[in-house]
């Protein structure tokens, strides 16, 4: 089935003679590595077709109609991106996209974690919660991740939870898929909860973020998230009580956290 394997820049690259073989290999090598829900399984044909089309248009070169795939990690990432595009529709329906304005607490929403699992925000009931949109390649990344980890370590035993949501809407500074983001946070020792990449602004924004922005307005009353690492503090009852600009470092939020522990 596999014609030959070559080494390219240290990565194993597989060359296939036909799209049919490519699709078979994608299924065998990668799909078993994803935790697929029933809905996702029903969408498998769409995922494969979209992934193949994307690979065909983004690979660096072809030889005699042979498609060169950069690596299994890249392939898994492409699958993850296409899977997320399908899941986003379902997620918005499940998490109350159409009636987010009627929700009373953050516990009325759900989101997908970095592994693609559905998570009800009710898991944070009774805990102070800090919600933050994050990015891997932002100038604020190093300081924020370090201080968020420190906050979490300091107050975890007292109940503090932190929920981070990757977003690529600000300068394209979170371009990777969830697989790559997970590798980054693992490498950097991130210990708090990480969710799948979402949008936080516009019509495609996750409904929970639409709710958060409506409950706590930004500078001069504007709702839109201005940049990476905007933060929302949610009390033990699930109400958003304060919003912090991206330039506010996590360590400066400590007094407000202490007040609601």
Of all helices (H) and strands (E), which one includes residue 8?
A: strand 4-8
Residue with tokens 């073989």: 21
Spatial neighbors of 200 by CB under 8 A, at least 6 apart, are 133, 165, 167, 169, 206, 209, 225, 230
Please provide the DSSP assignment of 71-109 as one string: -HHHHHHHHHHHHHHHHHHHHHHHTTSTTGGG--SGGG-
Using one digit for the tens of pLDDT, what is the confidence trace for 141-161?
A: 999 999 999 999 999 999 999
> CA triplet 126, 153, 240: central angle to 5 degrees?
35
pLDDT, average across residues 25-54 = 52
Residue 127 has pLDDT above 50, yes or no: yes
Q: Is 138 a catalytic residue?
A: yes
Give the model's pLDDT for residue 77: 67
Residue 162 has pLDDT above 60, yes or no: yes
Of all helices (H) and strands (E), which one includes residue 194?
A: strand 193-194
Residue 13: band (very low, low, confident or very high) from pLDDT cuts 50, 70, 90: very low
What is the percentage of the chain residues whose pLDDT exceeds 90? 55
243 DSSP assignment: E
Using one digit for the tens of pLDDT, what is the confidence trace for 167-186?
A: 999 999 999 888 899 999 99
Which of 77, 138, 167, 177 is an active site residue? 138
Give the model's pLDDT for residue 40: 55
Give the model's pLDDT for residue 240: 98
Give the model's pLDDT for residue 219: 74
> Model's pTM, two decimal places?
0.71
pLDDT, average across residues 175-203 = 93
Using one digit for the tens of pLDDT, what is the confidence trace for 204-254?
A: 999 999 999 999 987 776 789 999 999 999 999 999 999 999 999 999 999
Spatial neighbors of 50 by CB under 8 A, at least 6 apart, are 82, 85
- Which of 192, 186, 33 has the alpha carbon at shortest distance from 116? 33
């Amino acid at each position: 089935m596999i014609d030959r394997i070559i080494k390219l820049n240290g990565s194993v690259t597989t060359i296939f003679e036909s799209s049919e073989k490519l699709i078979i290999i994608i299924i065998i090598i990668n799909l078993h590595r994803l935790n697929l829900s029933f809905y996702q399984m029903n969408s498998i044909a769409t995922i494969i077709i979209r992934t193949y089309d994307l690979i065909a248009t983004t690979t660096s070169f072809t030889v005699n109609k042979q498609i060169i795939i950069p690596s299994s990690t890249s392939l898994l990432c492409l699958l993850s991106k296409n899977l997320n595009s399908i899941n986003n529709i379902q997620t918005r329906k499940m998490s109350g996209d159409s009636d987010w304005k009627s929700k009373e607490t953050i516990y009325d929403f759900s989101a997908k974690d970095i592994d693609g699992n559905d998570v009800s925000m009710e898991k944070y009931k009774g805990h102070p919660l800090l919600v933050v949109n994050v990015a891997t390649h932002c100038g604020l990344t190093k300081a924020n991740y370090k201080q968020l980890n420190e906050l979490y370590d300091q107050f975890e035993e007292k109940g503090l939870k932190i929920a981070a949501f990757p977003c690529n809407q600000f300068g394209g500074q979170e371009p990777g898929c969830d697989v790559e983001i997970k590798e980054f946070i693992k490498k950097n020792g991130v210990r708090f909860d990480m969710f799948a990449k979402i949008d936080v602004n516009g019509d495609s924004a996750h409904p929970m973020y639409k709710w958060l922005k409506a409950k706590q307005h930004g500078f001069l009353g504007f709702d839109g998230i201005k940049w990476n690492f905007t933060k929302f503090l949610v009390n033990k009852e699930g109400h958003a009580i304060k919003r912090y600009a991206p330039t506010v470092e996590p360590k400066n939020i400590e007094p407000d956290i202490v007040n609601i522990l």
